[in-house]
Structure 1
Amino acid sequence: MNLNALPKIELHTHLEGAAPPEFIRRLAQEKHVDLSGVFDDEGNYAFDNFLHFLKVYEAATAVLQTPEDYHRLTLAMLEKSADNGVIYTETFVSPDFCGGGDLGAWKEYVHAMQDASDMAEKTHGIVLKGIVTPIRHFEVGKAKEVARCAVETFGDWVVGFGIGGDEGAGKFSDFAYAYDMAREAGMHLTAHAGEFAGAQSVRSAIRDLGVSRIGHGVRAIEDMSVVAELVERDVVLEVCPGSNIALGLFSSWEEHPIARLRDAGVKVTVSTDDPPFFHTTMNDEYNNLARAFAWGEDVFKEINTTAAKAAFCNDTTRKTLLEKLE
């Protein structure tokens, strides 16, 4: 069974978090930016826990200062994804990082990322779409500005709206207005929940924000009534097992709840989150899951079909993806 050759669909990546360390170091040298403390002695990203990870993430992101930087980053990210058999991916991007929340600057960044995506599709056959994301541990008021940026650029490349960052900051209801803006514009909705916050955060994301997908959501397993609600409402989980294990949520692949959630009827998909930070790839995710749960190719085809149907793309792209999976 060669899972590396299997076409894959990935719904949960962060564009900056997918930046190869060597790419960030090279950019820092070009811009004369000091990134002391960001890398370990072997040149990998260095962090001790989730909050430290967020600080390192934002420090590394500081070298991404122009639309051209994001153009280069998008190409670098998609090349590595395509090497792992990914044919379609969705990535979280934030106007807070791309242009400081300024709508005019944000549009320039979107154009740069979309242009790079078009280039990668022609070269590698991979399709990329963007999900606009306010940062939860920034000021709540900023989420409205981000939602305005999202609505103004919603279309061919920007397809969804989500929220990321520190799950301990604020309540989902604080961001309901921003989500209402995105919903009224016709955008697809997701939210990070059930990673470092418990099962109740998954229920809150579903009820307070009306999302069709949850980023992570794995701690729903702690409350079977929440698992039942996921099944009843047909909410899809964007599961990132390697990320969860690297950040200490679970001690091993065998202890990860993705198989138990799937067995309970929850629709699960597989993604890498921030692959170079967590020393993973889509091939690594698949091979580790196959080893831990004795999953065969049929299970991964089912997971990819679920991902294609849950993707925030248009129906034409979805039809093409489902044909490629067959």
Structure 2
Amino acid sequence: MTKMIRYLPWILLFSLGWMHRAFADCAPGGINHGTMMAEVVLDVTGNIKAGDFIGSVPFSREQNVNTPVGHCDPGTELLLYAFSSPDGRKAKYYGNIDGREAFYIFYGGADYAYTIEWEGYPFSLGGTKKPQEGEWTTPNGSMLHIYAAVDNPKPLYSWQGGDNAPYLGAIRLTPTNQQRGFSYRAKFNIKAITSCEVTNRDLHIDLPTITVDNFPSTGFSQQEAKGQDYLNVACSGDMTASIRINSMYGMASYQGKNVVFKTQNEGQGSNASGFGFVLSSPNYVNGYFADNETVSLGKIGSSGASIPIQAEYYRYGDSVRPGSMQSAASFVIEFN
């Protein structure tokens, strides 16, 4: 019995401290509820991947007032929810991005995800606790962050206000009190602008060594000797492409067109002379690339394309000399 009496005051002190914290509350303010609205107008360009940041938009109070919704005791903690709606539905979790829980904009999923934060506190499915003391007015500084939920997301237009706007979050005093606090909604006008990019800017084509005997006269080698590399293109939607190639060291003619790319420092030192290269793109270009001539590559879809660029030897000189060969060309790709 003596041992039990000795520890009884400690138990009472603990219980009293817990009871004091539980009764921290916010007295009613001028109104019970306010609505925060974000007007999201963004352009999505480039080859976007799931999880990429699209942009941030601030929330503003929809009623254009600053009337407090409460006056909070010291020790009060507000709850910052993502999409905890009055009918009991919760946000559909997408994943963690930048240290915050991200959710699909619409309950059924969408091409975009979002996070909300207020003064560094992220909104979460379980309700993030944020200290609040004194007057509880407009949560200024609330930010909506938008991310791609899929690769190359589609445009999103949902410019409706009031109850028709997507419901993204809420600030509440208690989980069960739906009327006290703020609701967060947004209007969306996200334009997905189709674009393409070349993901590898440098191509290196190595050809096998071949003897001069394979070129008894001007023209191509009697023995096949070709090399190939790939031009990789990524697009966010369907586009058409064209390519233009320019020689760095001059051209020679074949069938009346400048298609033979001459070599660097031809005939100097141990370099070959009278030989060059021709370039083509099997399955894309019918024929050989001519200098400074724009050639269509056709349609490239959202899955992108890996365009082969093929090189082969060509003898254009009446007199030739064996040796090393190296050439270079620049290319420009246009998308429409």
**TM norm. shorter chain > 0.5:** no
Q: TM-score, normalised by structure 1?
A: 0.18
TM-score normalised by the chain length of structure 2 = 0.18
Larger Rg: 2
